[in-house]
Amino acid sequence: MQLREDIRNIAIIAHVDHGKTTLVDQLLKYSGTFRENEQVDERAMDSGDIERERGITILAKNTAINYHDTRINILDTPGHADFGGEVERIMKMVDGVALVVDAYEGTMPQTRFVLKKALEQKLTPIVVLNKIDRPNARPQEVVDEVLDLFIELGADDEQLEFPVVYASAINGTSGLEPEEQEETMDPIFSTILEHIPAPVDTREDPLQFQVTLLDYNDYVGRIGVGRVIRGSIKVGQQVVVMKKDGSTKSFRISKLFGFIGLKRIEIEEAVAGDIVAVSGLDDINVGETICPVDHQEALPFLRIDEPTLQMTFLVNNSPFAGKEGKFVTARKIEERLMKQLETDVSLRVDPTESPDAWVVSGRGELHLSILIENMRREGYELQLSKPKVIIKEIDGVKCEPVERVQVDVPEEYTGSVMESLGERKGEMLDMVNHGNGQVRIEFKVPSRGLIGYSTEFMSQTRGYGILNHTFEAYEPLIQGQVGGRRQGVLVALENGKASTYGIMQLEDRGIIFVDPGTEVYAGMIVGEHNRDNDLTVNITKEKHLTNVRSATKDQTSTIRKTRKMSLEEALEYLSEDEYCEVTPESIRLRKKILNKSEREKAAKRTKLV
């Protein structure tokens, strides 16, 4: 069996914000892949605007580094469980993984999630302990935590013999001991070359190429990115694609692309072990196998994680519809959703009885909110319903998604957090007191209990708590109400501008969401009531002027700070009878029925049912 010693394929996996993308930056820099004078952005692999702003990786990216005489293909994966579909497929393209762990935070829920996927594929791991320069880093304890996690996830003996490299990606240093940090990435490169297996050279065998990621380009159409598992592939070659349903389709390879640094370069041929992009077939999909015409043999199809959350996307029909967006019609919104399906394999879009509404299912709140945020930046206007978890029937039993939740909170807030998660049908699994005033608690909570929880958690812990959760499994449905908003809302009575006087009259009724001068319409939600029922209010009320002077006239009145919601917070906040209206400029909450008397009639009818 001959090996290709000139190549290594490795994926970088980690929990959100443990420094994967920054580490890839440093590997690119120290390998001499860029020219001396080349301007390179920080977190160069995160190319999307939202990825840069939030500091998270949403789409898996691949790059290649030439180190001495070896090409190292590196795949930077998303750390967030909502993009788990990406992580799982990438494991099929590589022979090993570099698990990056924060030297202070240690193993987190998504560390478990991504590592589990890697161990299931029998990949060879190396561990990079990052952020070793943090003042309270605890390298030895974290290595023990990582070892415990490997054992818990059923790693075999070879996988348990993982090498550890200590690094500070932000400072560009690394070493084989925590104290021996040098301004180089050589220890990481040499560990990769020494421990990650080289691919088997099977270039003489018939071709097998599996599509793992999709890309789209207006010039060449759909592009399938994947690894040449066996044989070789050439530009102009006539091949067959083995489809999911068992059918086949022949096409000619029009272009082949290889990767080096951050660039995609056209190549003529690739052989077993190479990671390349192929264009030429419009309807190629993830998991399909490309083979020679005379040797049709499909690889096992890739399993893609099922969606767990769904929302209804609707055409905006509020009184302000069409004022702020460019694309407002049903046709435009449907086209955009269909385009998203070209590259996002974890997304589902289903039509409804209404031509103006679609049920969109995704892997979680973040997955769907990133799509909505992208759409509003592109000029779309739409309305959204409350997110709902997808209930499945497994062996005749109704099941719902359950998540593993890990919270890190100061000691004094543990009681209130445990109580609130208990109310949301959470089950406590583990509790560790780190001794520095911080406690880490693990729970298992139904996904629907977590919708809307992060805002409550932040106020409970005064912003000091850290909440992480990741999909665990489908379990039998828990009966009764789980979670949900407890407070009622303040609803505007009529169209107009919110006035300072109107807002001041309402301040003792709850928290206001709009600033003075904001345009509002009847049925729009303008605040949160401090009781559990909804209240219709006149926020546009002006003060009537009289010719009587007030004794307190010279006292200046001030209004409290209003609460501004991000897109995720607004979606989590929604109740069953409400919509979130999203435009390029605004995020508004509204009642489904805008008219007060009609709304009250509908509420009575639902109570009677």
Give binding residues for GTP as ranges: 17-22, 130-133
CA distance 277 to 233: 11
CA distance 61 to 52: 14
Rounded Cα–Cα distance for residues 57 and 46 (Å) = 6
Which residue's structure tokens are 């709850």? 510
Binding-site annotation, residues:
17-22, 130-133
* Distance between CA atoms of residues 447 and 327, nearest Å: 33
CB 291 within 8 A of CB 208: yes
DSSP state of 243: -
- Which residue in the block uniquely carries the two structure tokens 């009639």? 601
197/319 Cα distance (integer angstroms): 62
User: What is the Cα–Cα distance from 423 to 21, expressed in whole angstroms?
Assistant: 38
- Count of residues making up the chain: 609
Type and span of the H or E element at 512:
strand 510-512
The distance between the two most distant Cα atoms of the chain, rounded to a whole number of Å, is 100
- For the chain, how are helix, strand and coil distributed in percent, rounded to 5? 25, 35, 45
With the CA atoms of 88, 109, 311 and 322 taken in that order, what torsion angle do they form, in degrees rounded to the nearest 10?
A: -100
Closest CA to 13 of 145, 195, 146: 146
Contact 210, 302 (CB under 8 A): yes
| 582: enclosing H helix or E strand | strand 578-582
Q: What are phi and psi of 409, to 5 degrees?
A: -135, 150
- Closest of 97, 169, 581, 228 to residue 381, by C-alpha: 581
Per-residue burial over 402-411, b = 16 or more CB atoms within 10 Å of its CB, e = otherwise: bbbbbbbbee
Q: What is the SS3 assignment for 259-312?
A: EEECEEEEECEEECCCEEEEECCCCCCCCCEEEECCCCCCCCCCCCCCCCEEEE
Q: Torsion angle, CA of 584/587/591/594, rounded to 10 degrees? A: -50
Element (H, E) at 433: strand 427-433
| Rounded-to-integer distance, Cα 465 and Cα 469, Å | 13
**Owner of token pair 């943090």:** 134
Tokens 């015409």, residue? 293
Handedness of CA 41, 44, 47, 50 (dihedral sign): negative
Report the C-alpha gap between 53 and 14 in whole angstroms.
19
Distance CA 403, CA 153 (A): 17
Are residues 24 and 78 in contact, defined by beta-carbon separation less than 8 angstroms? no
Residue among 118, 62, 69 nearest 127 (CA): 118
Look up residue 557 and give its amino acid: S
Chain position carrying tokens 């829920």: 109
At residue 238, the 3 state secondary structure works out as strand
